[in-house]
Structure 1
Amino acid sequence: MRILYFLLLPLVAFADPQTNAEIFGVFTLLPPLVAIVLAFITKDVILSLFIGVFTGSFMLALVDNNIYHAIIGGFTGLISKAVSSMANPSNAGIILQVLTIGGVVALITKTGGTKAVAIWLAKKAKQAKSSQFATWCMGCFVFFDDYANSLIVGPIMRPVTDKFKVSREKLAFIMDATAAPITGLAIISTWIGLEISLIRSGYDLIDPAIFAHLNIKHDEINAFEIFVQTLPYRFYNLFMLVFVLLTIYMGREFGPMLKAERRAREGLFSQGHEKIDNLEDKLLEPKEHIKLKASNAIIPLLILIVFSFIGFYFSGYNAIDDVVLKAQIDANPLGLFALRETFGKADASVVLFQAALLASIVAIMMGVARKIFTLKEAIVTWTHGWRTMIMTVVILLCAWSLSAVIKDLGTSRYLVDLFSDKTPIYLLPTAIFIFASIISFSTGTSYGTMGILMPLTIPLAAAVGVHHELNDMNLHHYIIINISGVLTGAIFGDHCSPISDTTILSSMGSKCDLLAHVSTQMPYALSVCVISILCGYLPVAFGFNVWLSLIFGVLVMATLLFAIGKKVDAC
């Protein structure tokens, strides 16, 4: 009874993360660990993140309360973290940006714009190669959302690839390889809000003493600029997009895909198929009487892109206080220096929200003017697009809350103290990439993986870099590499996972059996993964030039296809 009595006594109150890290020790890892384990077991990332946040807030409440009050404090703490996250102006801008881009996607789908572009591309296909290339181009055109990619490209391109006897497995692979990989790279997409916010949250967790080595003030960190700097290091995304092109151009396949393609040339498109009817969003289907015009998609998207760039420029320019710097920009306003400085200072979430709102207005005006829908129908369609992004918003709130709890518990500081002097500097990016891949494969989600790992990766990478005495430029570069490891590892695991939403949607959209899609895609994804490590993350961690790494990786992929791949038509 005495032991129970002491357990229920309030503990000494400590609010400092460093002190909490010392109090809880290894238990500071409990919230992210709970989120990871539950994600493996339940396959539900929202539930897993929610319980992970509650675990952390319960631990924080337990510091100065007994166990009964800590349960209540854990729940109220969770709510407080979520409300604080949403009340943050930058986070609010990200939420509005994500929802509004969802509205734009819905409008251009309803007007038939994306369908018109797909049909135009389909008409250009004259043979198996060109039909596959048209599918790849269509996948890249629908860069703004991976779900839209899977649901739009398949139904439009499937009759074309069938006509030229391309297997449903290859169609599903091309769709899947241009869904998450291209959306993850796009600077305007339904993903970028999540990616930027997680990067910003990760930098908030860097120890101030370590932060000083970056030779930059905390309030000068621009998450959008860091996101852009990670693009050359997204080895899996970039290599996979090129790998698809190489298989098309060379006409070579290997493994189960070779068998599927040769079977298709004989008129058997797939081992089986799934119905897509239950996945297509009937509300966003264009009305039968309307004339499909590519301009219905191209004009709103151009508005979104052009005004985003204009917004980045002026938002960043107005944020610059340095008179000398402004004078340099004014001397050559369109030079690379001016663009780099202004874009780096821009508030990306606000700018993208403004551009998406303007694109929405243009899409609505075009739809009404062309008698595609009434104003009331346009508003319904736009708000329906918002509803499709609610899942993303919920994950964002859970991820922000988990990041806040991890910060208060001192989890990152515990990891820094534990691993900063033990981790080989050249192995960390690869280890993070592999770990992200495993979590994403097991859970079937890229978003959840990013939300769990990013708050741990950035402070750990900073500490490892400082321990190995990197200068400020090399340290910043090293953190960038590790961030890309999280972002690309999450996509690779999701790409391979049979429970991933995009994997399932790609198989449904191509009417290809799910297991047939997974079994034919897996050898390709694993091959690109290995090349991403051996030609990407390991060399750049040793200081190898990233552009040479990309070129070398492409040459290795071409050599691989030439060495073990076989001509599909050479039976």
Structure 2
Amino acid sequence: MAPISQVQEQVLPQETTPDGSRFVSFQNLDIPLSEITPYHQSPLHPSNLNQTTLKQKLPEPVLARRIGSDGMSQVLKLSVVRHWGGWSLLPALTAIILCFMLKEPLTALLGGLLVGGALIGQYDVTRLLVNSIGQPGSAVLLILYLWLLGGLSGIWGKTGAAQAFARFLSRHCVKGPVSAKLVAWTLGILMFQGGTISAVLVGTTVTPVADEEKISKEELSYIVDSTSSPVAVILAFNAWPGFVQPLLIVSGVSFLATESDRLTFFFQCLPLSFYAILAVLGTFLLSIDKAPFIGRQMKKAIKRARSTGQLSAPDSRPLASREIDNASGDYQPWVLEFVLPLGVLIGTALVTFWLRGTPQILWAFSAAFVLAGGIALMRGMNLNDLTDGVVDGLKSVVLGSVIILLAVTMGHLSQQTGGGAFLVSLLSERLLNVYWLLPALLFGLSIVVAFSTGTSLGTYAVVYPLAMPLAWSLTLGLGLEESSAWLFMALCFACVLNGAVFGDQTSPISDTTVLSALCTGCDLMDHVRTQLPQAMTMAAIATVLWTLVAFFGCPLP
């Protein structure tokens, strides 16, 4: 079927020069109003549109000038979007359905790409992948995630630095069950680079100590899991902002125009990550035995372990716990080998954020990687051993890198198929009267996608290209003030961000869920069942908070 082409209009803000002439900023240029074509002469005016041309190729956005209803001169940015009606959602729906059927995100994402490519007439999926990875943002992301993050974790694994730091903390801080759980929680906060890294390092390190203090496997795996991805959202000095920012491009939104703008928007929205904040706070309260709400099965597990010393349920089938430690046998680990690179990583990100307004994550990981490798060589590690460690680290993130490549490509494809444009045309008018429910609806949608795929990154690629244009269309239709429009977009962004984290954290096919159970020696489904009540309670509270902020913080003019 032929795509449906539509012209979107956006009124651009006007600025005044010292001599009184007015202009608008467009594509990094300041254009005087006198040089802008009148609306009726614009090639995108309805009377001048060539439908045959629109079906073949989308023209670039253009500016037009007209007199508004208030008698003032307006400058419009006109751009053409296209979609295939309900079929525009088919790639995303295919990925979701395949995940339910196959329980495997790689096959599901690839299936979505095949369907999306067929929809737009691009049957060579390899070309879609090449075009996606050829984008500067995608290439930087792969360098960061595959080379630097994988290489740094490989160096820490080879030197044993991360394990040495964690054991040092355990030996000097554990005095009972509460302090043992606090050590696990603290390590989860410090390992904010990513969910799987946190689950592996924290789980394998604290399990022996927790076993001695009679902490149930269900309780420990919940602490490990609930401080992995949620912390990566709150302390987002990792690869996540670089992955998410290309998915936030919305035509006409000035504060999402450039990569720097989108990264700044990401970090400005972090205080609205209510679920992630509540999840981390909830595990802290559980660690100090002050949790206001604990599910019945978790209470039973805690009582069983404390009173009988039985760490797992009688009918459980625990996953085998394994140590992720390939340290060189003749090399003595040093605690500062972990502390110094980690400090440089955090410090570089914070300093560049303060100086430039955007944390330079690539610089931060590069500096930490070079410092970790340099310390290991100066302390006597053989270059071949160090290289082996880096290679092992790269191998450990290959699967994640493939998921990232497919997810980024899925995000680009969703923009081409116009799923966002279709949702805008379908829902924008229907949601005008209950616009304040959109953040909660997006939170629920993200949970469904993430739970069925087991990946938060893949969820972002599917949902963000649909959610952000829809949210912006509502702000325009409602005529929200600039500050209210920003807050509404930020709420929608935060709900997708947190919904994917919740769905990923609670999904039995998620890598962080499996690793949290595996590295603590817990039965997988025991872990899923016992953590769900706490996680759902936090999600419900967060949903209420988002709805209240949208209702009272984004009033109609």
Deviation at 1:20, TM superposition (A): 7.3
- The match for 2:312 is 270
Do the aligned partners of 1:364 and 1:375 also contact (CA within 8 Å) in 2?
Answer: no
Do the aligned partners of 1:16 and 1:408 also contact (CA within 8 Å) in 2?
Answer: no
- The match for 2:300 is 259
What CA distance in whole angstroms lies between the structure 2 residues aligned with 1:221 and 1:194?
13
Q: Given the alignment, which residue of 120, 125, 148 partners 1:60? A: 120
Q: Quickly say closer, same or farther: Cα 1:159–1:273, change in 2 above 3 A.
A: farther
Do the aligned partners of 2:96 and 2:452 also contact (CA within 8 Å) in 1?
Answer: no
- The match for 1:429 is 439
What CA distance in whole angstroms lies between the structure 2 residues aligned with 1:40 and 1:84?
29
What CA distance in whole angstroms lies between the structure 2 residues aligned with 1:521 and 1:219?
39
Do the aligned partners of 2:105 and 2:454 also contact (CA within 8 Å) in 1?
Answer: no
SS at match of 2:288: helix
Question: Are 1:49 and 2:109 counterparts?
Answer: yes
Matches within 5 A, 1:63-462: 73-75=122-124, 78-99=125-146, 100-123=148-171, 124-196=173-245, 200-203=246-249, 206=250, 208=251, 211=252, 214=253, 218-219=257-258, 222-251=261-290, 253-266=294-307, 267-271=309-313, 272=316, 274-276=318-320, 280-281=323-324, 284-312=325-353, 339=355, 342-344=356-358, 351-371=360-380, 373-423=381-431, 424-462=434-472
What CA distance in whole angstroms lies between the structure 2 residues aligned with 1:107 and 1:539?
46
Matches within 5 A, 1:517-532: 517-532=527-542
Structure number with greater CO (CA < 8 Å, separation at least 6) is 1
Q: Quickly say closer, same or farther: Cα 1:217–1:378, change in 2 above 3 A.
A: closer
Do the aligned partners of 1:36 and 1:452 also contact (CA within 8 Å) in 2?
Answer: no
- The match for 2:37 is none
Question: How far does the alpha carbon of each residue in 1:166-197 deviate from its partner, in whole angstroms, 9 at most, with x for none?
Answer: 1111111110111111123232224333223x
- The match for 1:512 is 522
Deviation at 1:224, TM superposition (A): 1.3
Code of the aligned partner of 1:42: L
Code of the aligned partner of 1:240: A
Deviation at 1:84, TM superposition (A): 2.2
What CA distance in whole angstroms lies between the structure 2 residues aligned with 1:189 and 1:408?
28
Deviation at 1:382, TM superposition (A): 1.4
Question: How far does the alpha carbon of each residue in 1:52-94 deviate from its partner, in whole angstroms, 9 at most, with x for none?
Answer: 2222222222xxxxxxxxxxx412xx33332222222232222
What CA distance in whole angstroms lies between the structure 2 residues aligned with 1:135 and 1:400?
33
What CA distance in whole angstroms lies between the structure 1 residues aligned with 2:262 and 2:538?
28
Deviation at 1:460, TM superposition (A): 0.7
Q: Which runs of 5+ in 1 are unaligned?
A: 1-10, 62-72, 314-338, 546-571
Code of the aligned partner of 1:305: I
What CA distance in whole angstroms lies between the structure 2 residues aligned with 1:297 and 1:287?
16
Do the aligned partners of 1:497 and 1:518 also contact (CA within 8 Å) in 2?
Answer: yes
Do the aligned partners of 2:92 and 2:112 also contact (CA within 8 Å) in 1?
Answer: yes
Question: How far does the alpha carbon of each residue in 1:224-282 deviate from its partner, in whole angstroms, 9 at most, with x for none?
Answer: 111101211111111011011112334454411111111111211112453435x644x
Q: Quickly say closer, same or farther: Cα 1:353–1:532, change in 2 above 3 A.
A: same
Q: Identity, % of aligned pairs?
A: 28
SS at match of 2:237: coil
- The match for 1:21 is 82
Deviation at 1:544, TM superposition (A): 4.7
Q: Quickly say closer, same or farther: Cα 1:119–1:215, change in 2 above 3 A.
A: closer
Deviation at 1:366, TM superposition (A): 1.2
What CA distance in whole angstroms lies between the structure 2 residues aligned with 1:407 and 1:191?
20
What CA distance in whole angstroms lies between the structure 2 residues aligned with 1:48 and 1:158?
34
What CA distance in whole angstroms lies between the structure 2 residues aligned with 1:458 and 1:221?
17
SS at match of 1:543: helix
What CA distance in whole angstroms lies between the structure 2 residues aligned with 1:240 and 1:375?
42
Deviation at 1:383, TM superposition (A): 2.8
Do the aligned partners of 1:15 and 1:408 also contact (CA within 8 Å) in 2?
Answer: no
- The match for 1:332 is none
Code of the aligned partner of 2:373: I
- The match for 1:563 is none
What CA distance in whole angstroms lies between the structure 2 residues aligned with 1:483 and 1:453?
10
Do the aligned partners of 1:173 and 1:517 also contact (CA within 8 Å) in 2?
Answer: yes
Matches within 5 A, 1:465-544: 465-534=475-544, 536-544=545-553
- Count of matched residue positions in the alignment of Structure 1 and Structure 2: 474
What CA distance in whole angstroms lies between the structure 2 residues aligned with 1:475 and 1:88?
29
SS at match of 1:189: coil
Q: Which runs of 5+ in 2 are unaligned?
A: 1-51, 60-78
Q: Quickly say closer, same or farther: Cα 1:462–1:161, change in 2 above 3 A.
A: same
TM-score (norm 1): 0.78
Runs of 4+ in 1 over 6 A off after TM superposition: 17-20
Q: Quickly say closer, same or farther: Cα 1:437–1:92, change in 2 above 3 A.
A: same
Do the aligned partners of 1:273 and 1:508 also contact (CA within 8 Å) in 2?
Answer: no
What CA distance in whole angstroms lies between the structure 1 residues aligned with 2:120 and 2:448?
29
SS at match of 1:74: coil
What CA distance in whole angstroms lies between the structure 2 residues aligned with 1:463 and 1:383?
46
Deviation at 1:391, TM superposition (A): 2.6
Deviation at 1:113, TM superposition (A): 1.7
Deviation at 1:492, TM superposition (A): 0.8
SS at match of 1:305: helix
Deviation at 1:137, TM superposition (A): 0.6
What CA distance in whole angstroms lies between the structure 2 residues aligned with 1:226 and 1:90?
16
Q: Quickly say closer, same or farther: Cα 1:15–1:43, change in 2 above 3 A.
A: farther
Deviation at 1:98, TM superposition (A): 1.4
Code of the aligned partner of 1:139: G
SS at match of 2:552: coil
SS at match of 2:327: coil
What CA distance in whole angstroms lies between the structure 2 residues aligned with 1:216 and 1:437?
26
| Structure with higher helix content | 1
| Structure with higher strand content | 2
SS at match of 2:141: helix
What CA distance in whole angstroms lies between the structure 2 residues aligned with 1:113 and 1:217?
39
TM-score (norm 2): 0.80
- The match for 1:30 is 90
